[in-house]
Each structure stands twice: as structure tokens, then as C-alpha cells.
């Protein structure tokens, strides 16, 4: 089918569907139609496939295997083996023995961890492979790899035993404060359910000593065609791809007498369960209230409507909770709060209320959550709230519709995974989704939304999770106190919600426009235009067609906090956070959100030691709104002492408790040492903030940073027409105060690492885990395209060697990489860092292996095979990523920060081809100076 015929066919399908909806007597019972653009089929062996042609990104194909089985199906002797099976898929299959799968796909440009990966959850396991679409061989090998994942993983005793250490170290890496809190909460969330006993990572006992036959039994039971789906999305001919999929995957035999897949229940409970999850390393408190409900898939128009009403309720309640947190007179007991309703795990949906709690105010926070919840149950929502929220929903669905032809393949893959797995989400054409959303929103009443809230709030199947620092456990409300709060709230009479006057006009006065006084095409980058404004600002415009309804925005000016003396550093560094928290113009952040209802726009501050700026994005329609907000950030930072004090309370609480986390203590210490104890890098503490942070100084500094638009470069990329946006740019950017004579730069504050070698160890960790960080800092080196490429190749090659020898052969780590980092401050320099988590008793052994690999790359460089493989990966990454607006935004900012010539840009691929092994050895010799490295170790408490 040619492209024009296909488009006509899809349009007729959408039209026919809309007409059938319109004429259906009982529309709510009608099933939602599946988009015709995806080919869904089922083979005789039971395997399901999804095939979708898509050219975003071009020349790339994504292939996935989805297994409708996860850790909850494990037997007692298999705990952790669902995840273990996932690991084994990369350690040898029928067609790719040993590590040949990774070696082959990396050689054609698909990097392990980025383009080849997998994950395991309670209910499913998903394998991911992205390959270049350039050759039939790549496609055939890709399908063969997915077929092997489905049915032909080797699972030899030798490879299983070799992988135990890697997974043990993954367990060690993930078992931090968040992992411990999760383990404590599972028995409450999954009360009396097998889910509570099937944490995905498993147990050390099974990982280290579980029998290989038990792992193979898991794969035999659950890796079978009737529980599997193959997803292929990308740049190919759909008819040819379907034939290939049928040919390759029909070879998998249908399993005779398959084991029945049990439905794992999460039983109900009449009582409200209360969990106190405390941890010595946790430095903040939170409360989450869960209401468990049966899971209902969205299959019909009626289901779609019900889901829409539930989302309306939680969205409007979230807005009220944020308003409560934003209230400058009635100070809330939480910093932020929200509500939500969605599928949680298995056959359960969850209605959730959550809050980040202020110190010693857990009971009040629970009461406040329940109070706003009760107010909505008793009185419902206002018409103004409803109208704002409808605008948001329609805007979101409209954007998805307008960008339907420029969606990236990974987004389609996510849709198909959710369709096949327990979520069973429908695959709806964006046009139908948009039309249904608009139509159904007109028919939904405030009464229905209120009744939905009453349905979501139940007395049974409730769970309250209180997370708090261990030191605060004696002051937490006990179970009886929490239950009493629920009882009291049921009896409490509340007034209906009311809100103040809503402001809508962002700018009270229109700015006087400036003019574009010079225009040029930037040589070296296709379609990049530069305008010089009458106020001195530089504006770069890059029109693209990668997204139909997306515009990215950035602004950059050198200077940052570096231009202020040490005594003013705290006020300068906190200024962006304070302005963001307090607001702009007449708008607090919540009020601004109300004013922007129905608009898809975001603008944020981005300031640092050496620069200040803005970033943001919008739809085409909301481009002017984005410029208005940017204009306000320059000209009208909002002042509010109550909001300032509220943020200060939050900052002080975070700082007061931050050293409960040993990682924070360690990182602060590393920063001090690496800055040679410069006063600007002294740890930020409550005492320092109270002494040095000054309200008036914050606003003075902020206004100075954004007082001269003539010192800024602005850049835009996306679906914009330069001539159409020029008047708006002249008005909102050209109309900013500024001149071309006061150009500023950053100030060198003489912050540099100590001379010579550093070995530093701290014994702080609560668990038997160590973090090792090895740094080679600040080697002076010109930032050029070639040096950047050589540093990446060098570090990629070193990372591959470290993973092969320390992870795969020694089982010593789960992950280890070398990261290059260029900086222009104070002069162009390159640093390399290496970090890993490991068993404390193996620190010195593994460090020695790291330095062995460093010495090898200095002496031998990279093998021709490794070099060719890494070059292919970089070239493929560049080819796929350059068709995104992100790519061009980063490029323009990078060239501005490093003062590069845009003419160099087109030489990327030729420069890549010029890199030799001698270049890598020379850079490694220069960077990896053995007498100047800095090694920092975080070890367990003695």
C-alpha cells in the first residue's frame, strides 16, 4: 500500500468510527476501536505481535519481547529468578553463544544498556533492542535475537553461576534507603498477598545459592508463546516485516499442557492499615494514603468516560492541595501534596493522597489531606475549577493529535506494552481520542464528578504509609491517633471551597517592541538563523519539522554567581529557587498555573556558578504565552515575605536533616577536598543560610542577573516560522531592557583541586556496601570537536573493559563506567570520573583492576574491533538524535558556552573517521596521570 492510499484509508477509518459513534443508540457500550495504523496479529502457537511503521527516528527499528510474567509467579525456591532469567538472556542463546549478542549489536551501532536492555517487574518482563534499519542482515539478526529471548536462552549452569555475583551486586546497589522503605511498606500495601513476598530483586539466598534447575523451571513454565508478544516499530515496510515476524516466530512450538497462570489476588481488608516506615538515612517525612479498588480495564466508550471523570476528580483535588500549600495566610502542614487514581499492581487500582510533610506535623498533614478530600466529597468542585481542568485535558489530547505523525517509536512501543500486559490499555487513534475527550467532557456534570469521589473514598481497604527519619519515630502518631483523625474527619462539617479572584492577563502593560537590526544565516548549520536585536540580544532560530506542535526555548548569559563575592554567594545561589517558588508578576506558581489552564507551556530558570538563563517549551499556539512568561522572569520577579519564609522553612528542614544520609556527608566532603577547601564550596548548613541568606540581597542580585537582555543569547528550535514569530520576538525579547555595551563574563574565583594524589576514606554507610569514586580532574585541553570525540571513545572503551573484567569475569560490580566531562572554567579542561558500588572487602582488589585497565588503555589503546564498534555507535546515535529539537538546543548552547565556530559542526562524521588509536593512547596518557588521581571511598561504619 503506498503512503497516499494508506493515509486515505486511515482517514476513512476515523471518519467511519466517528460516524458510528454518533449514530450508536447506546454509545457508552461500544468498544473503543484499535488504531488501524498498527498491525496486531496472533500466531497459531499463541504469540501476539504488534507491527507499526514509523520514521521517528529514521533509520531505526525498535524490537521488543514482552512476557506476561514477572516475579509474582515465582515459587518459593525461585525468588529473584524472574529477574535472573532476564540477565541470562544476554549471556548466551542458541544463535548467539556467550556474549556474542552484545558484541554483534554493539558492532553495528546499538550500545548495551542504551539500545539493548530489559526490565522485570511484578507482572511482566520486557526486552528491548533498537537497531539501525540500514541492512536486511541487521533486521534478520534482530528478529533472531528476540526469538532467542522468547524460547532459546542457554541457561547453562556455568553461566548461571557466573551471573550470581553480578546480580548480588545489583541487589547491593539498589538496597539503599529507598529500597529499605519499599520493603517495609510492601506487607501493608499487598496485605496477605503473594506480591508482598515477591520483591523483584529476590533474596540473597536464592541469588547466591538457588538451584539452576529452579531457574530453568521458571523459564519453562512462563516463557511460552501464549504469554508473549513481539513488538516491532520503526523505519521499514510493514508488509515485509509482518512476513518476517510470522516466519521467525512461528517456529516456536506451542507448549503442550501449559501450566495454568494463576490470578494473584491482593485481598481486601476491613481495617485501615497504618505503617511507620522509618530509616536512619531518611532525611524528610511524607505521608501516603491508599484506597484499594478492583482494576477495571478501559475497553468501551463508557470505560473511557469513567476514566476521564476519575482523572478530572484527582486533577481538581490536586490543584486544591497545591493551592493549600501555596496559601500565604493559612500555612499548610505540608510542602506539596497531590491526588491520583490509576492501576497500581496486578488487579488493583489505587486512589492515592500524598504529601511531603513539614517537621513534626505528620498528624496535621494527614488531617489536612483528609479535610480537602472531605470538602470535595461534601461540596464537589466549582464551575471555574471544572472549566480550567477541561481546558487542560482538551489541550493535552489536542497536542497528541497534532503530533500524531511525529511521535517517536518508543512511545508507540510503550502503548503496545500496556495493551498486552495487565493494564490492557486500548490503542486508540489520536483523532478519536481527541474527539471523544472533547465530546464526553461536554456531557460530564459536576454531580457525576462528586459522586466519583464518593466512590473512590472507602472505609475499607485503606493503607496509610508514614515515611520518616528514624530519629523522629517517637514523635510520630501511633495507629490509634491516625485512625482517630479519620473518624473525626467523617464527623467534621466543612465550608464549601472558595477561591480568590483569578488573574488571567499575564502582562498588565504591553512592552514596547524592539527591532531586528541584523539578520544572517549561520554558516555551518542548515536553517539556523541569527537575529541581532536593537537591545543587543542575540536570537537564534532553528525551524524543524521533527514535531508538529513543539517549540523549545533557551536563554544563556555568562556570569552567574561567580561575579559575586564569597559573602554574597549564598544569596546569589538561592535566588533562582526563591524566585521560582515565589512567582512572577502578580502570580504565585499556583495562580500562574490557573492562568495557564488549557495552555501547554513551561518556562524555568536555569542559573549556576558561571551563567544564568531560562529554558522552556510550548506548543505553536502558546508560543506567545511562553515569551510573555520569559519577559516576566526578566522584568517582574514577584516579592512575598510569607512565601519566602515558607521556602526558608523547607530549606532549613532539608539542611537540618541532610546529614542523616551518609551519601550527603560524603559528597560534601568530596566537594570540599576537590575545591581545596575554598570558602564558596563550604557545605550549605542551617547556620550558614541563617547568617548569609538575605531577602533584599536575593532580589537585588536576581534583578542584576536579568537586567540586561543585551548580554543574553536566546535560542528557539521547533515547529516555527521565522517570519511569523519575528514580531513576537521583537515585542517580548526586543522589548526587554538591554544594551550592547555592557557585555559581562564570569569571574575566576580560583577554585581548583589539590595538587598530587589524594586517597580519602570515610566510614559512614549503614549497609555492607561501599562506593568508590576515582577522579582524574581538570587536565587543560582545548574543547574541540575532535577532542570531545576522542574523550568519549576513550571512556567508552575503558567502560567496556571495566564491565567485561570487573562485572562479567569477577562478578564484582553491577555497573561501572568512566565518564568524560569538559568544562570551559577557568580554561578549557577535561576531567574523567569512574565510580562503582561493591562489597567493602573487595574495594582494594577492584581498584587495582581499574588501574590495570587504565594502564592497558594508555599502553595499547583500543582494539580495531572495539574502535570500529564505538565509532558505529556514535554515528548511529548522532543520526537518530539530530532529528530532535533537544539535539539542536544543546548544540547551540554548547557552541555559545565554549565559544565555538558553527562552521565546525558539519565535520562531525569526517572528524569521527579521522580518530586513530594513537589519538586515544595520547589522550589516555595525558589524562590518566597516576600521580594526580583522587580516590574517595565511602565505607560501612566501623
Q: According to the model, what pLDDT value does residue 14 have?
A: 46
Summarize the confidence of residues 701-716 as an average pLDDT.
97
User: Which residue matches cell numbers 485481598?
Assistant: 267
Q: According to the model, what pLDDT value does residue 5 have?
A: 37
Cβ pair 174, 201 in contact under 8 A: yes
Q: According to the model, what pLDDT value does residue 906 have?
A: 66
**How far is it, in rounded angstroms, from Cα 466 to Cα 274?**
8
Angle separating helix axes 238-249 and 136-151, nearest 10 degrees:
40
Q: According to the model, what pLDDT value does residue 910 have?
A: 85
For residue 292, list its beta bridge partners.
350
Q: What cell was used for 427?
A: 490503542
Cβ pair 723, 650 in contact under 8 A: no
* 580, HSE (Cβ side, Cα atoms, 13 Å): 14
Summarize the confidence of residues 96-110 as an average pLDDT.
97
- Per-residue pLDDT of 877-911, as tens digits, reads 999 999 999 999 999 999 999 988 888 776 778 88
- Per-residue pLDDT of 625-660, as tens digits, reads 999 999 999 999 999 999 999 999 999 999 999 999
Reference 500, options 709, 365, 329, 664; nearest CA is: 329
Residue 281 has pLDDT above 70, yes or no: yes
Residue 134 has pLDDT above 50, yes or no: yes
Across the beta sheet with 611-618, the strand order is: 516-521, 529-533, 538-543, 713-718, 551-558, 611-618, 601-605
Mapped onto helix, strand or coil, the DSSP state of residue 102 is helix
Q: What cell was used for 597?
A: 489552564
DSSP 587: B
Mapped onto helix, strand or coil, the DSSP state of residue 529 is strand
Q: What cell was used for 131?
A: 537497531
Mapped onto helix, strand or coil, the DSSP state of residue 719 is coil
Summarize the confidence of residues 146-158 as an average pLDDT.
98
**How far is it, in rounded angstroms, from Cα 773 to Cα 780?**
21
User: Which residue matches cell numbers 524543524?
Assistant: 544
Q: What cell was used for 730?
A: 521583537
Q: Are strands 125-132 and 273-279 parallel, antiparallel or unpaired?
A: unpaired
**How far is it, in rounded angstroms, from Cα 410 to Cα 404?**
13
Residue 337 has pLDDT above 50, yes or no: yes
- H/E stretch holding 518 reads strand 516-521
Report the chain's mean pLDDT, rounded to a whole number: 95
Put simply, whether the predicted model's pTM sits higher than 0.85 gets the answer yes
Q: Would you place residue 3 in the very low, low, confident or very high pLDDT band (cuts 50, 70, 90)?
A: very low
Summarize the confidence of residues 284-299 as an average pLDDT.
97
User: Which residue matches cell numbers 538563563?
Assistant: 613
Q: Would you place residue 21 in the very low, low, confident or very high pLDDT band (cuts 50, 70, 90)?
A: low
Q: Would you place residue 19 in the very low, low, confident or very high pLDDT band (cuts 50, 70, 90)?
A: very low
Provide the 10 A C-beta neighbour count for residue 756. Answer: 9
Residue 1 has pLDDT above 70, yes or no: no
Residue 501 has pLDDT above 70, yes or no: no
Residue-level length of the chain = 942
Summarize the confidence of residues 567-574 as an average pLDDT.
97
DSSP per residue over 876-939, as a string? HHHHHHTTSHHHHHHHHHHHHHTT--GGGGGGHHHHHHH--HHHHHHHHHHH--TTS-EEEEEE
**How far is it, in rounded angstroms, from Cα 220 to Cα 861?**
44
Cβ pair 667, 764 in contact under 8 A: no
Provide the 10 A C-beta neighbour count for residue 113. Answer: 11
Mapped onto helix, strand or coil, the DSSP state of residue 605 is strand
Q: Would you place residue 15 in the very low, low, confident or very high pLDDT band (cuts 50, 70, 90)?
A: very low
Cβ pair 399, 619 in contact under 8 A: yes
Provide the 10 A C-beta neighbour count for residue 901. Answer: 10
Q: Are strands 934-940 and 758-765 parallel, antiparallel or unpaired?
A: parallel
Residue 872 has pLDDT above 60, yes or no: yes
Q: According to the model, what pLDDT value does residue 25 have?
A: 54
Conformation bin of residue 852: beta by default, left when phi > 0, alpha when psi is -120 to 50: alpha
Q: What cell was used for 272?
A: 485501615
Residue 577 has pLDDT above 60, yes or no: yes
Q: What cell was used for 897?
A: 558556552
Reference 334, options 316, 314, 360; nearest CA is: 360
CA dihedral sign, ordered 730, 735, 738, 743: negative
Higher pLDDT, 910 or 576: 576
Could you tell me where the DSSP H helices lie in 76-190? 81-88, 100-107, 136-151, 157-174, 177-189
Residue 711 has pLDDT above 80, yes or no: yes
- H/E stretch holding 770 reads strand 770-780
DSSP per residue over 850-874, as a string? HHHHHHHHHHH---HHHHHHHHHHH
Residue 4 has pLDDT above 50, yes or no: no
- H/E stretch holding 613 reads strand 611-618
Determine the number of helices (DSSP H) and then strands (DSSP E) in the chain: 30, 23
Amino acid at each position: 500500500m503506498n503512503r497516499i492510499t494508506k493515509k486515505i484509508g486511515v482517514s476513512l477509518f476515523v471518519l467511519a468510527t466517528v460516524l458510528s459513534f454518533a449514530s450508536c443508540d447506546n454509545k457508552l457500550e461500544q468498544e473503543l476501536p484499535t488504531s488501524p495504523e498498527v498491525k496486531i496479529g496472533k500466531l497459531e502457537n499463541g504469540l501476539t505481535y504488534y507491527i507499526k511503521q514509523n520514521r521517528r527516528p529514521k533509520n531505526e527499528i525498535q524490537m521488543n519481547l514482552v512476557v506476561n510474567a514477572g516475579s509474582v509467579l515465582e515459587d518459593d525456591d525461585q525468588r529473584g529468578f524472574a529477574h535472573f532469567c532476564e540477565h541470562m538472556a544476554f549471556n548466551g542463546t542458541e544463535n548467539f553463544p556467550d556474549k556474542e549478542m552484545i558484541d554483534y549489536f554493539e558492532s553495528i551501532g546499538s550500545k548495551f544498556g542504551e539500545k539493548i536492555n530489559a526490565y522485570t517487574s511484578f507482572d511482566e518482563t520486557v526486552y528491548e533492542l533498537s537497531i539501525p534499519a540500514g541492512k536486511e542482515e541487521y533486521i534478520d539478526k534482530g528478529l533472531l535475537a528476540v526469538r532467542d529471548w522468547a524460547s532459546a536462552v542457554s541457561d547453562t549452569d556455568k553461566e548461571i553461576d557466573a551471573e550470581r555475583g553480578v546480580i548480588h551486586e545489583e541487589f547491593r546497589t539498589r538496597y539503599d534507603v529507598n529500597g529499605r522503605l519499599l520493603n517495609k511498606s510492601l506487607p501493608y500495601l499487598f496485605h496477605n498477598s503473594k506480591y508482598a513476598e515477591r520483591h523483584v530483586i529476590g533474596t540473597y539466598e536464592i541469588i547466591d545459592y538457588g538451584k539452576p534447575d529452579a531457574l530453568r523451571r521458571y523459564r519453562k513454565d512462563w516463557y511460552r508463546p501464549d504469554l508473549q508478544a513481539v513488538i516491532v516499530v520503526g523505519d521499514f515496510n510493514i508488509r515485509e516485516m509482518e512476513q518476517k515476524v510470522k516466519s521467525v516466530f512461528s517456529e516456536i512450538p506451542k507448549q503442550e499442557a501449559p501450566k495454568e497462570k494463576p490470578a494473584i489476588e491482593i485481598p481486601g481488608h476491613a481495617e485501615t492499615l497504618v505503617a511507620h516506615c522509618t530509616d536512619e538515612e531518611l532525611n524528610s517525612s511524607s505521608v501516603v494514603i491508599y484506597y484499594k479498588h478492583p482494576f477495571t480495564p478501559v475497553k468501551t466508550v463508557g470505560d473511557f468516560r469513567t476514566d476521564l471523570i476519575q482523572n478530572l476528580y484527582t486533577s481538581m483535588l490536586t490543584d486544591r492541595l497545591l493551592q493549600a500549600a501555596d496559601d500565604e495566610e493559612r500555612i499548610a502542614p505540608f510542602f506539596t501534596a497531590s491526588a491520583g487514581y490509576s492501576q497500581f499492581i496486578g488487579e488493583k487500582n489505587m486512589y492515592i493522597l500524598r504529601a511531603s510533610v513539614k517537621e513534626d506535623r505528620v498528624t496535621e498533614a494527614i488531617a489536612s489531606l483528609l479535610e480537602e478530600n472531605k470538602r470535595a466529597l461534601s461540596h464537589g468542585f466549582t464551575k471555574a475549577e471544572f472549566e480550567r481542568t477541561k481546558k487542560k485535558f482538551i489541550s493535552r489530547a489536542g497536542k497528541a493529535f497534532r503530533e500524531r505523525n511525529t511521535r517517536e517509536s518508543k512511545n508507540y512501543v510503550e502503548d503496545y506494552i500496556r495493551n498486552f500486559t495487565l493494564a490492557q490499555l486500548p490503542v486508540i487513534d489520536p483523532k478519536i481520542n481527541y474527539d471523544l475527550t472533547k465530546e464526553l467532557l461536554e456531557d460530564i456534570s459536576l454531580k457525576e464528578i462528586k459522586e466519583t469521589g464518593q466512590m473512590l473514598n472507602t472505609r475499607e481497604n485503606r493503607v496509610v504509609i508514614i515515611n520518616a527519619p528514624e530519629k523522629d519515630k517517637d514523635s510520630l502518631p501511633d495507629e490509634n491517633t491516625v485512625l482517630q483523625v479519620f473518624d473525626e474527619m467523617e464527623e467534621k462539617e466543612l465550608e464549601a471551597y472558595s477561591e480568590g479572584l483569578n488573574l488571567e492577563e499575564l502582562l498588565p502593560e504591553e512592552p514596547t517592541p524592539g527591532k531586528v537590526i541584523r539578520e544572517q544565516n549561520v554558516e555551518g548549520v542548515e536553517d539556523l538563523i541569527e537575529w541581532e536585536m536593537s537591545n543587543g540580544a542575540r536570537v537564534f532560530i532553528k525551524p524543524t519539522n521533527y514535531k508538529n506542535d513543539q517549540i523549545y526555548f533557551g536563554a544563556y548569559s555568562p556570569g552567574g554567581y561567580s561575579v559575586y563575592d564569597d559573602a554574597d554567594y549564598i544569596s546569589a545561589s538561592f535566588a533562582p529557587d526563591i524566585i521560582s517558588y515565589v512567582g512572577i508578576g502578580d502570580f504565585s506558581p499556583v495562580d500562574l498555573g490557573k492562568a495557564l489552564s488549557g495552555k501547554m507551556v513551561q518556562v524555568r530558570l536555569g542559573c549556576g556558578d558561571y551563567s544564568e538563563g531560562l529554558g522552556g517549551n510550548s506548543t505553536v499556539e502558546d508560543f506567545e504565552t511562553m515569551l510573555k512568561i520569559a519577559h516576566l522572569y526578566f522584568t517582574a520577579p514577584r516579592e512575598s515575605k510569607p512565601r519566602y519564609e515558607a521556602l526558608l522553612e523547607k530549606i532549613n528542614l532539608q539542611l537540618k536533616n541532610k546529614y542523616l544520609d551518609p551519601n550527603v556527608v560524603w559528597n560534601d566532603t568530596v566537594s570540599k577536598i576537590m575545591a581545596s577547601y575554598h570558602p564558596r564550596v563550604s557545605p550549605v548548613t542551617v547556620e550558614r543560610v541563617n547568617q548569609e541568606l538575605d531577602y533584599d540581597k536575593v532580589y537585588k542580585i536576581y534583578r542584576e542577573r536579568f537586567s540586561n537582555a543585551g548580554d543574553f543569547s536566546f535560542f528557539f528550535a521547533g515547529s516555527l516560522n521565522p517570519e511569523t514569530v519575528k514580531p513576537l520576538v521583537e515585542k517580548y525579547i526586543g522589548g526587554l531592557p538591554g544594551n550592547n555595551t555592557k557585555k559581562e563574563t564570569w569571574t575566576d574565583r580560583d577554585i581548583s583541586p589539590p595538587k598530587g594524589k589524594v586517597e580519602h576514606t570515610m566510614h559512614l554507610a549503614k549497609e555492607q556496601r561501599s562506593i568508590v569514586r576515582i577522579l582524574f580532574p581538570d587536565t587543560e585541553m582545548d574543547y574541540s570537536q575532535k577532542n570531545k570525540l576522542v574523550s568519549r571513545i576513550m571512556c567508552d572503551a575503558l567502560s567496556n573493559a571495566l564491565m567485561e573484567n570487573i562485572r562479567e569475569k569477577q562478578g564484582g560490580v553491577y555497573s561501572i563506567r568512566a565518564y568524560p566531562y569538559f568544562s570551559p572554567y577557568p580554561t578549557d579542561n577535561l576531567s574523567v570520573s569512574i565510580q562503582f558500588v561493591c562489597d567493602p572487602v573487595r574495594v582494594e582488589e577492584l581498584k587495582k583492576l581499574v588501574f590495570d585497565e587504565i594502564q592497558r588503555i594508555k599502553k595499547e589503546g583500543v582494539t580495531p574491533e572495539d574502535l570500529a564498534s564505538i565509532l558505529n555507535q556514535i554515528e548511529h546515535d548522532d543520526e537518530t538524535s539530530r532529528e530532535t529539537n533537544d539535539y539542536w538546543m544543546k548544540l547551540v548552547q554548547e557552541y555559545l558556552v565554549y565559544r565555538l565556530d558553527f562552521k565546525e559542526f558539519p565535520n562531525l562524521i569526517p572528524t569521527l573517521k579521522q580518530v586513530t588509536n594513537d589519538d586515544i593512547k595520547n589522550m589516555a596518557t595525558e589524562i590518566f596521570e597516576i600521580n594526580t588521581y583522587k580516590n574517595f571511598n565511602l565505607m560501612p561504619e566501623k
